Amino acid sequence: MKEKYRYIIARVDAGNRPTREQIEAACIYAVFRLYGVIGLSKLRPSLAFYDEEKQLCAFKVLRNNYREFVLALDLMPREGITLRPLKTTGTLRKAKRIIASIPRQE
């Protein structure tokens, strides 16, 4: 059976412009901190798209557990890189369109 995914669009709040690797590490840390290794295996989060200019990104997670991922991002520590979930969509194409429609923050 094919696995289905959801894409969570999030705003990146950081003092400087973080790299893709730093954002993905922050995401994995947030999930691991709340749910542990079992939660990581159930969610399988990965960074699907990152717009450095707008500081917005889209994470790919398994559909059945995407709410747990949003909760993990909401409960992230406030120091360093923080990720604020904005919207959830079913395709990467739609996620990119939504990111393109959001104005750049100054």
Element (H, E) at 27: helix 20-43
Residues, the chain, total?
106
Global pTM exceeds 0.75: yes
Domain segments of the chain: what residues? 5-101
Q: Which residue has the tokens 């994995």?
A: 28
Class of domain 5-101: alpha beta
The two tokens of residue 1 are: 């059976």
Average pLDDT over residues 19-28: 92
pLDDT score for 94: 97
Average pLDDT over residues 23-28: 92
Q: List pLDDT tens digits, range 41-100.
A: 999 999 999 999 999 999 999 999 899 999 999 998 877 888 999 999 999 999 999 999
What's the pLDDT band for 106 if we cut at 50, 70, 90? Answer: low
